[in-house]
Amino acid sequence: MEEQAAKIRIEQLREILRENSRRYYVDNAPTMSDYEFDQLMHELERLEAEFPQFDSPDSPTRRVGSDLEAPVGANAESQARQGFVQRPHRYPMLSLGNTYSISEIEEFVARAEKTLENVRFSYSCELKFDGTAICLTYRNGKLVQALTRGDGIQGDDVTENVRRIASIPQQLHGDFPEEFEIRGEILMPYEAFDALNREREAQEEAPFANPRNAASGSLKLIDPEEVAHRGLICTLYHVPAESVSFASHAEALDAAARWGLPVSAERRLCHDIAEIKDYIDHWDSARKFLPYATDGIVIKINELACQRALGYTAKSPRWAVAYKFKAEQALTELLSINYQVGRTGAVTPVANLSPVQLSGTLVKRATLNNADQMALLDIRVGDWVYVEKGGEIIPKITGIDPAHRAKDAQPPVFPSVCPDCGTPLVKAEAEAKWFCPNQDGCPMQIKGRLLHFVSRKAMDILAGDMTVDQFYTAGLARTPADLYDISKYQLLSLEGWQDKSADRFLTSLEASKQVPFERVLFALGIRYVGETTAKGIARHFGDIDTLATATQEQLLEIDDVGEVIARSVCDYFAKPEHREQIARLRAHGLRFDGAGQDVAVSEALAGKTIVISGNFSISRERMKDLIVAHGGKAGSSVSGATAFLLAGTKPGPEKLKKCEKLGIPVVSEEEFRAMLPETDPASAGLPLSGEDNPRFAETPSRGNPLPAGESDSKETIEELTLF
């Protein structure tokens, strides 16, 4: 690869990996499979090794993924509101190098044997538990501290929550050292996971994607009593060598088990690659019968003196490696291929499949990513294909079964022109994707940008793909600013719109004018500017005028902003049509400043944990923002610590029952609004209050004022255009 192309790809990979690391560790809602993530990380490692001139200490290859919340501009106040204090780790909490290939395990063993020539040593083979890491400190046999991994240097103090996990002893017995640390994983067994998701669905809350996310989300609950009911378990697998004086890892864990700590019984000491392979083969199938999730095997040099001799890289020990299992697969028929054009113009091939059951869901569509990927797979319509699904939303095709191929099957022809507007597609050298360059005229791109603008994480306006399509077809909206010009009269002239749905839409449009600058910036859809980057940029510059005149050098001062992003931002503001768009949006009253100022509207709800249930005049997400803006905390389920249940229409029956049992008051939206100071509606982004306010129902997909059937599917496909 040429130097310039490598530079661009390196930056792209860093951005993708950072964004997905945040989704994985902070949001507990990954959009990419672990396998895909690991492959991109390996690609970045290879490129950085080949082009050391682009090395950066900030690269995700050198950093441990962080579970700490919003590092950008976070201050003590917002931290306190999240409820966890961050504390330093005594010894950094590192990650593990990983591979999916047995030959790399062979190389690891060969390397260890070479470095430790003439030394007798063994390997501790263990399960790789798929939960969330924890670091426990015991002093005089008592549990005194529990920290999450955080960024590896400091973690969230979750001691009180960890005290509610039954398998973690508060008091040890036997000959434990005066003070030591021990690390391991908090897991949610499948049974507890299924029960939790059933309960969440009954209470109209979004289910967790997998047990790992559920464990991690549960560990960060505000209310320790709630943690006690989540069925979490713990397994410990690492005693930092500095912390105790044992000769080997196995001895340290055996001792920990004697002191009463939960240590995995599935460990085995192996002496050569053959024994290691046996262990891997056994657990590759046996793990399916375990009551909790595992995603691989960890192989560690057992003797601590040998570990010391091998040492560490910045991110992981050289004395250990993880062999990861591939995600579950299903085999099904490829019926046809669609080519979808995203808001950036990227064309993504999407496979329509004969429906097949995979990891508990019925899969009908899968992404093929790009033309290169299609060529690599050598795929044909009618082929039997392997579909895989990790923690992400859209499954992908990972291979084909050549035995099933029809003799006359022809390779698909990737379109040379945009499937929507017919413009010839283009491809930049460093890009894997083909693009439709007709930014201003391609209907899919125009609609895609509108859809992004209204999406929940952006402006949270009540419009889905069908609404956007209607607006576009009727000539009512081509740009975000057009949305604010739509009148009720115009809405009522559209098919299916009535007084109520028009009011709901206009109300949400009005409320969007209070959306903070950082989200408005994200909503503009500047290429490569995801949620995190938008936050960083908004907080750095404070307002749009300063940002619009910023140079690339100034943008590069921001952590995590590389040249690709800096150039993209500058290019965006250089275009007169974008400046005009911003001027129009500003005239409509959208917020283009005030980033970084923590807006505490009042302290009316200070010290109160409030649980919400049912539908309100605004989305539940915004209702939670409102609680926080008034100093309260939004709890996820009812417990003794709940101040009151804020109930909209159709509250969850389970929650109501629990309130009755615990004597917790149930408060209506109207009563709730009465608790807030008069000034509230405008400052907190609420349009109206009281009974005359049009109500909308928030379905799990999103609240749509219009005919059912609209979804966020475009948003999800759009995310794929990054790759």
The smaller minimum CB distance to ligand IVH, of residues 28 and 445, is found at: 28
Span interacting with ligand IVH, options 70-78, 127-135, 634-642, 684-692, rule CB under 6 A: 127-135
Span interacting with ligand IVH, options 122-130, 153-161, 451-459, 476-484, rule CB under 6 A: 122-130
Least distance in angstroms from the C-beta of 633 to ligand IVH = 28
Least distance in angstroms from the C-beta of 298 to ligand IVH = 4
The smaller minimum CB distance to ligand IVH, of residues 322 and 458, is found at: 322
The smaller minimum CB distance to ligand IVH, of residues 133 and 595, is found at: 133
The smaller minimum CB distance to ligand IVH, of residues 168 and 454, is found at: 168
Site string for ligand IVH, 320-339 (x = CB under 6 A): x-x-----------------
Least distance in angstroms from the C-beta of 320 to ligand IVH = 6
Q: Cα dihedral angle (661, 663, 669, 672), rounded to 10 degrees?
A: -160
Least distance in angstroms from the C-beta of 386 to ligand IVH = 25
Least distance in angstroms from the C-beta of 214 to ligand IVH = 16
The smaller minimum CB distance to ligand IVH, of residues 238 and 591, is found at: 238
Chain residues 77-116 in contact with ligand IVH, contact rule CB under 6 A: 94-96
The smaller minimum CB distance to ligand IVH, of residues 38 and 43, is found at: 38
* 537, 570 Cβ separation under 8 angstroms: no
Chain residues 31-50 in contact with ligand IVH, contact rule CB under 6 A: none
Span interacting with ligand IVH, options 314-322, 413-421, 520-528, 607-615, rule CB under 6 A: 314-322
Phi, psi dihedral angles at 182 (to 5 degrees): -145, 140
Residue nearest to ligand IVH (CB): 133
* 268, 279 Cβ separation under 8 angstroms: yes
Q: Which amino acid is at 445?
A: Q
Question: What does the alpha-carbon distance between residue 370 and residue 367 come to, in Å, rounded to a whole number?
Answer: 9
The smaller minimum CB distance to ligand IVH, of residues 134 and 196, is found at: 134
Least distance in angstroms from the C-beta of 222 to ligand IVH = 23
Q: Which is nearest to 250 in space by CA: 135, 124, 127, 116?
A: 124
How many residues line the site for ligand IVH (CB under 6 A)?
Answer: 14
Residue 347 Cα distances to 86, 128, 133, 368, angstroms: 43, 37, 38, 11
- With binding defined as CB under 6 A, does residue 523 bind ligand IVH? no
Both tokens of 711, joined, read 């979804």
- Strands, E assignment, 325-378: 329-341, 346-358, 361-367
The smaller minimum CB distance to ligand IVH, of residues 96 and 356, is found at: 96
Strands 268-270 and 294-301: unpaired
User: C-alpha angle with apex 387: 385 to 392, nearest 5 degrees?
Assistant: 155
- With binding defined as CB under 6 A, does residue 298 bind ligand IVH? yes
* 401: β partners: 384
Least distance in angstroms from the C-beta of 684 to ligand IVH = 39
Both tokens of 274, joined, read 């053959």
Helix (H) or strand (E) holding 654: helix 653-662
Span interacting with ligand IVH, options 121-129, 452-460, 557-565, 592-600, rule CB under 6 A: 121-129
Question: What does the alpha-carbon distance between residue 532 and residue 519 come to, in Å, rounded to a whole number?
Answer: 10
* 710, 505 Cβ separation under 8 angstroms: no
Both tokens of 56, joined, read 């950066």
Report the residue count for the chain.
Answer: 723
Chain residues 427-446 in contact with ligand IVH, contact rule CB under 6 A: none
Least distance in angstroms from the C-beta of 65 to ligand IVH = 9
Q: Which is nearest to 605 in space by CA: 623, 578, 581, 627?
A: 627
Helix (H) or strand (E) holding 422: none
The smaller minimum CB distance to ligand IVH, of residues 313 and 699, is found at: 313
DSSP helix/strand/coil, 444: helix
Q: DSSP class of residue 113? A: H
Both tokens of 488, joined, read 């009720």
Among 40, 47, 112, 133, binds ligand IVH (CB under 6 A): 133
Both tokens of 70, joined, read 């919003």
Least distance in angstroms from the C-beta of 94 to ligand IVH = 4
* 383, 377 Cβ separation under 8 angstroms: no
Least distance in angstroms from the C-beta of 700 to ligand IVH = 30
Identify the burial level of 653 via C-beta atoms within 10 angstroms of its C-beta, where 0-12 means exposed, 13-18 middle and 19 or more buried.
exposed
Chain residues 215-274 in contact with ligand IVH, contact rule CB under 6 A: 237-238
Phi, psi dihedral angles at 98 (to 5 degrees): -135, 160
Among 37, 129, 517, 528, binds ligand IVH (CB under 6 A): 129
Span interacting with ligand IVH, options 283-291, 315-323, 484-492, 544-552, rule CB under 6 A: 315-323
- With binding defined as CB under 6 A, does residue 185 bind ligand IVH? yes
Which of 7, 128, 447, 624 is flagged as catalytic? 128
* Number of alpha carbons in the 13 Å side-chain half-sphere of residue 17: 24
Among 128, 315, 620, 714, binds ligand IVH (CB under 6 A): 128
DSSP helix/strand/coil, 102: helix
Whether residue 655 lies in the annotated active site: no
The smaller minimum CB distance to ligand IVH, of residues 321 and 659, is found at: 321
Q: Cα dihedral angle (239, 241, 247, 249), rounded to 10 degrees?
A: 40
Strands 633-635 and 609-613: parallel
Q: Which residues are catalytic?
A: 128
Give me the residues that bind ligand IVH (CB under 6 A), please: 94-96, 126, 128-129, 133, 185, 237-238, 298, 317, 320, 322
